[in-house]
Amino acid sequence: MHPVWIAALTLTVYWTIGLIIFILSRENETFAACWCAGLVYLLLYVLFYPLRSMREYSNSRLYYERHGISRLQYFFGKRVRDKR
């Protein structure tokens, strides 16, 4: 299955669940509104940081190795600085 269709299906299911929660939880509208607004994105962004950083390092491995940055250093935030 194509990644675009997987993403579309995931978003549709996510928004449908959020809409159902919003309709059913009239007394807790703040939670339902936050769910529908997608504040879960922040949690997923933090949880998938290791995956994103390792993929970014792998894509530009020669560049970072030339500047003396290892995979572990890159993971913890060390980047190449511009000399301007």
Q: Between 71 and 25, where is the model more confident?
A: 71
In percent, how much of the chain has pLDDT > 90? 17
Q: Between 18 and 55, where is the model more confident?
A: 55
Q: State the average pLDDT over residues 69-81.
A: 89
pTM for the model stands at 0.51
Q: How far apart are the first and last CA of the chain?
A: 46
Is residue 33 predicted with pLDDT exceeding 90?
A: no
- Give DSSP secondary structure letters for 9-56: HHHHHHHHHHHHHHHH-GGGHHHHHHHHHTTHHHHHHHHTHHHHHHHH
| Per-residue confidence band for 19, with pLDDT thresholds at 50, 70 and 90 | confident
